[in-house]
Structure 1
Amino acid sequence: MNILVWKGHHSKEIFELTKRALSSDNVLLILCPPRIDDISDYYEYLPSGQVEFFGEFFGKESFYNDSKTTFKETVSIGLFSSGSADIFPKLILYTKGNLKSSNDGIMSFFSETDFKKIVCYPQPYHIFGLSLGYALAIDRGVELLFDVGVYSKKSHKLWLETIENCGAETLTLGTPTHMKDLLSYLDSENLTPCASLTSIFGGESVSVNLWERARDILKIQAPSIGYGCSEASPGVTHLPPGVHPGENGNLGAPLPNVKLTCEKDGLRVAGENICHAIIQNNGIIFPGGEYLMSDIIKKKDDGNLQYISRNNLVLNRGGEKFSLEMIEAYLLDELSLNVVSVCVNDERLGEDLGGLIESPDQESIQNILFKLKEKFNRNFNSHNFKIVNSLPKNSNAKVDRKSALEIVKG
């Protein structure tokens, strides 16, 4: 086997290497984000084969990886999860069948939507961009357009140019944050876009307001919402193009080839889309077609699922536990305020609630405290809340909770 190891941001070279990996039964492509400098601890868990380096790793000496790890199926793509904040980040290995199962399931919701071009907003971890961008474009034989390098306003300019020329046949891929940035860019430049066909928003919960602004201001005729995780390649559920979400966090229905079970500890996902292997903490796990996501999900009467929160974002306030994301969703619903909730140290309680509020109005703090008192019958400390013009973002263009905590503490 040939093992190709690449490091960097989105690049035309990645696309070509992906084509090479997906067209062969003897190539494994490992994509490393910019912050990964060394993967020597992972080699013993990879297949045996000749290792070659590309991107920012170009120039490193090739070598033969002699491994004792055996795989039941051939793995073709390896991606680091954007959720990996550990000292030993999670490397997820996929077969071609994993990626195809996920994309086929997602595309079953697009049977009446004929797109011929994909505009993909970049993320340095490549999960969303590769599996729903590169791999989908290769599998479907459609043109993929994306900006190279670090995420910037150039992506918005590329999107505008594309839809001006062929908006009626364009699918836009991006996170809710990308769409919010695009809306701000259009407003600041006083620009009005041409109409475009459809989109998939994924990576975090989507509000009704954002979906409607995408339709009415961005003029995306049939926006859709995707939900999943890196381990599911990444599709789990989908809200079809043009279907109004009705309420914040509507995830749509399970992909037809995926089985979901809501459990106390999260959402269990089963199907051919589940990754073949996970390397983390000096070991390798083979999920065997099942994976437990640490998300709290509610099944609605219409069969769709609604995102509530992640299990691991919990405030333990003197033994009383609160979901940080549930609080954020509640304040968005009640006050239309974007808030990132954090846990701050408290001498008496151990932890207390803090928050960073995106608002021009200092009175927003008092409004939030009133609503939290109304909801939980608890008084929270106003000194733990700060007003900012915009919430901090990480390299994946998502809200940076760690930076938010530092601002609140400061």
Structure 2
Amino acid sequence: MISRAWKSESLLILCPPGLKDFSFLQLFHDHSVEMVGSWDIESLELIARAQTEKVARALQEFPENPVLGVFTSGTVSGEPRLILYSKANIEAALAGVRSFFEVTRIKTIFCYPQPFHTFGLILGYVQAMLFDLELVALPGRYSRPAHDLRASLTTANLLTLGTPTHFHDLLEYARIEKRTLQPSYTSVSGGAKTSVSLWKSMRDELKIESPSIGYGASEAAPAMTHLPPGRMPTEDGEVGFAIPGVSLEIQPEKGVEFTGPNVCLAVIQGGKIEFPEKILIRDELTQRESDRVLIYKGRHELLLNRGGAKFSLEKIQEILSTSFNCEIACVAITDTRLGEELGVLFKFSSDHKMDRRKISEVLKENFGSTFAPQYFVQIPEMPLNPNGKVSRHECERIVREHSLEQWAASGGRFTYPLPVERLSHWLPHRSPAIWIDQINSISADPTTLEGECSVRFDPAANYASDGKLRQSSALEWIAQAYGYVSTCTLLSQATSGLKKPEKAYLVAITNAEWSEAASAASLKPGAELRIRVRRTHQMGHLSLIEGSVLTDTGQLLAKAQIKLFAE
């Protein structure tokens, strides 16, 4: 169908499952419409109604022929919109992205996103069609067989397309099934924020030689920036540089405005059509002074990006408030797999109890998705900031701590090795200051705070100088490893009332040792260093910890006793 539309320059609109708004058809009432695929009775009735309800005004003349259309609820607004592309839009976006790659090394594309998502449509299906590449994809609902298919590929000339959620799931699949993937050239992670640790795991565990990170919007067909393949990010959210032909203007408190030949041909929303020359994306981007790399920080509007699917938090808040007649606060909670998950605080009257099942039913009916109920929390009062408004930062903290305690109290247990993202919000550090990659194990004895973490050595990371590990960084590893092991141990005991430390300091360091010989012999890129910690004494907020750093061959690299103050 895509090839036919491209050759004939007829318009192909790819509709996602569950689409209920077909009002856009009113603008095409003078054109013949062919429906392809499987449609349920409700959708057919909605389509028939939309085709009979003609609008008074005629469809404006297109400056170019539209060939493809997709729906989005992305970062411009929380409402569904139909985005139309011309050939020139798509060709410009693809040329910009492909300029970052050794394209002669790409012979096959494995595409997780479906063709009704602009990411999968343009970078997957259309790129394969235009450049005569093999396309491997599993049609239909995203499921485990997609990972079976990806793991079966043996070609080295492979480009894998997916969101961070897809790559997290593929990593989990490989770990559980004990599958070793064949080495491949590259990948694009897009649609949501990509963490440094995920990028490293894609390279080291999924055997992707040169992962890359894409950023954009449906209105950009879909590319705006790209972090080149093989360039490791030094902090979460890096999105690289503007693609050739695109001009970006960061507007403080507003977002980022872009212009270029990849700006979509048309946007249809609310029965109206627009032909934009520039687009304002309501995202917060910053640019690092040292290397001009762009970094995605978040959004200026209340929008939830759940594995690439975007929802208006204000709309969710409105629906829930009306349905349950109570005060509601919705927040986006950082989630290792999806990027973000929905968190909701409910303030009911004193005699009312929250019903998670009914809440889930309302959300499913209105938004077509099943959200994690452990992030629904009932509280007596909404937290307020100094201006008397609801503090979303405090709301997020409450949801985070409540859900993790509830999970532990209900018998939930971590499986190891455990990526640090699951617990990073419990430490008073933020990326790029978190240097531990994963927790390998904790003691089975709940009275003992003892365990092991690990780091894959990266000479470009913040813990290194001139490609060498700083001795002080080894001490910081010991302190951070203790923080993670301590949290995992407390949660394994289903301890209630856990409180996240707001600050932590190294008070004293004694009996420190460092092995130059082990450092010189073992600190190679990708080497796994293990950090073992054990608490020997605790006095109030002070903890005495013994720690050691071992090389991947078991040599002692560093050891020390530290006193840690945390509250």
Give the structure-2-normalised TM-score: 0.54
Partner residue, 1:193: 181
Which of 390, 399, 404 is the matching residue for 1:351? Answer: 390
d(CA) in 2 for partners of 1:121 and 1:366? Answer: 27
Question: What secondary structure sits across from 1:55 in the alignment?
Answer: coil
Partner residue, 1:228: 216
- Shift of residue 36, structure 1, vs aligned partner: 0.8
d(CA) in 2 for partners of 1:124 and 1:238? Answer: 21
Matched ranges for 1:111-122 at <5 A: 111=102, 114-122=105-113
d(CA) in 2 for partners of 1:224 and 1:324? Answer: 29
Question: What secondary structure sits across from 1:297 in the alignment?
Answer: strand
Partner residue, 2:200: 212
> What is the letter of the counterpart of residue 36 of structure 1?
L
- Shift of residue 125, structure 1, vs aligned partner: 3.8
Tell me which moved more, 117-126 or 357-366.
357-366
Question: What secondary structure sits across from 2:121 in the alignment?
Answer: helix
Q: Are 2:16 and 1:33 equivalent residues in the alignment?
A: yes
Partner residue, 1:183: 171
Q: Are 2:38 and 1:56 equivalent residues in the alignment?
A: yes
> What is the letter of the counterpart of residue 107 of structure 2?
K
d(CA) in 1 for partners of 2:18 and 2:174? Answer: 31
CA RMSD of aligned residues (A): 3.8
CA distance change for structure 1 residues 118 and 291 in 2, over 3 Å: closer, same or farther? same
d(CA) in 2 for partners of 1:237 and 1:278? Answer: 21
- What does the per-residue CA deviation read over 1:293-327, in whole Å, with 9 as the maximum and x for residues that have no partner? 000000112121001001113899xxxxxx966x8
Higher relative contact order (CA 8 A, sep 6+): 1
What is the aligned length? Answer: 343
Partner residue, 1:22: 6
CA distance change for structure 1 residues 113 and 227 in 2, over 3 Å: closer, same or farther? farther
d(CA) in 2 for partners of 1:72 and 1:35? Answer: 31
Question: What secondary structure sits across from 2:35 in the alignment?
Answer: strand
> What is the letter of the counterpart of residue 208 of structure 2?
I
d(CA) in 2 for partners of 1:383 and 1:272? Answer: 55
- Shift of residue 22, structure 1, vs aligned partner: 1.3
Partner residue, 2:131: 140
Q: Are 2:120 and 1:129 equivalent residues in the alignment?
A: yes
Q: Are 2:221 and 1:237 equivalent residues in the alignment?
A: no
d(CA) in 2 for partners of 1:129 and 1:367? Answer: 31
Tell me which moved more, 305-314 or 290-299.
305-314
Which of 83, 93, 96 is the matching residue for 1:102? Answer: 93
CA distance change for structure 1 residues 383 and 88 in 2, over 3 Å: closer, same or farther? farther
CA distance change for structure 1 residues 281 and 38 in 2, over 3 Å: closer, same or farther? closer
> What is the letter of the counterpart of residue 174 of structure 1?
G
Question: What secondary structure sits across from 2:263 in the alignment?
Answer: coil
- Shift of residue 28, structure 1, vs aligned partner: 0.3
d(CA) in 2 for partners of 1:366 and 1:197? Answer: 31
CA distance change for structure 1 residues 89 and 98 in 2, over 3 Å: closer, same or farther? same
d(CA) in 2 for partners of 1:174 and 1:300? Answer: 26
Which of 256, 259, 267 is the matching residue for 1:267? Answer: 256
Q: Are 2:304 and 1:304 equivalent residues in the alignment?
A: no
- Shift of residue 144, structure 1, vs aligned partner: 0.6
Which of 44, 65, 84 is the matching residue for 2:26? Answer: 44
CA distance change for structure 1 residues 68 and 344 in 2, over 3 Å: closer, same or farther? same
- Shift of residue 189, structure 1, vs aligned partner: 1.0
> What is the letter of the counterpart of residue 43 of structure 1?
L
Could you list the runs of 4 or more consecutive aligned residues of structure 1 that deviate by over 4 angstroms after TM superposition?
Answer: 58-67, 84-88, 338-341, 345-348, 356-370, 382-385
- Shift of residue 21, structure 1, vs aligned partner: 1.1
Partner residue, 1:389: none
d(CA) in 1 for partners of 2:425 and 2:210? Answer: 34
Partner residue, 1:287: 276
- Shift of residue 29, structure 1, vs aligned partner: 0.3
- Shift of residue 113, structure 1, vs aligned partner: 5.5
Tell me which moved more, 57-66 or 200-209.
57-66
- Shift of residue 283, structure 1, vs aligned partner: 1.5
- What does the per-residue CA deviation read over 1:103-127, in whole Å, with 9 as the maximum and x for residues that have no partner? 1100000136611000000347421
Segments of 5+ residues of structure 1 without an aligned counterpart are 1-16, 317-322, 333-337, 373-381, 386-410
Question: What secondary structure sits across from 2:267 in the alignment?
Answer: strand
Segments of 5+ residues of structure 2 without an aligned counterpart are 304-312, 315-329, 348-380, 414-420, 430-495, 500-567
* 8 Å contact kept, 1:198–1:241: yes
Which of 253, 267, 276 is the matching residue for 1:278? Answer: 267
- Shift of residue 367, structure 1, vs aligned partner: 8.6
Tell me which moved more, 29-38 or 79-88.
79-88
d(CA) in 1 for partners of 2:400 and 2:224? Answer: 31
- Shift of residue 261, structure 1, vs aligned partner: 0.4
Partner residue, 1:158: 149
d(CA) in 2 for partners of 1:161 and 1:341? Answer: 34
Partner residue, 2:475: none
d(CA) in 1 for partners of 2:178 and 2:98? Answer: 34
CA distance change for structure 1 residues 248 and 87 in 2, over 3 Å: closer, same or farther? closer
- Shift of residue 45, structure 1, vs aligned partner: 2.9
> What is the letter of the counterpart of residue 102 of structure 2?
S
Question: What secondary structure sits across from 1:284 in the alignment?
Answer: strand
Partner residue, 1:80: 71
CA distance change for structure 1 residues 365 and 57 in 2, over 3 Å: closer, same or farther? closer
Question: What secondary structure sits across from 2:113 in the alignment?
Answer: coil
CA radius of gyration, larger in: 2
- Shift of residue 134, structure 1, vs aligned partner: 0.7
> What is the letter of the counterpart of residue 35 of structure 1?
G
d(CA) in 2 for partners of 1:85 and 1:36? Answer: 19
Tell me which moved more, 63-72 or 261-270.
63-72
d(CA) in 1 for partners of 2:187 and 2:65? Answer: 32
- What does the per-residue CA deviation read over 1:201-223, in whole Å, with 9 as the maximum and x for residues that have no partner? 00001000000000000000110
Tell me which moved more, 252-261 or 68-77.
68-77
- Shift of residue 243, structure 1, vs aligned partner: 0.8
Partner residue, 1:398: none
> What is the letter of the counterpart of residue 164 of structure 2?
P
CA distance change for structure 1 residues 184 and 130 in 2, over 3 Å: closer, same or farther? same
Percent identity of equivalent pairs = 38
* 8 Å contact kept, 2:114–2:121: no
* 8 Å contact kept, 1:276–1:287: yes
- Shift of residue 194, structure 1, vs aligned partner: 1.2
* 8 Å contact kept, 2:113–2:161: no
d(CA) in 1 for partners of 2:28 and 2:35? Answer: 15
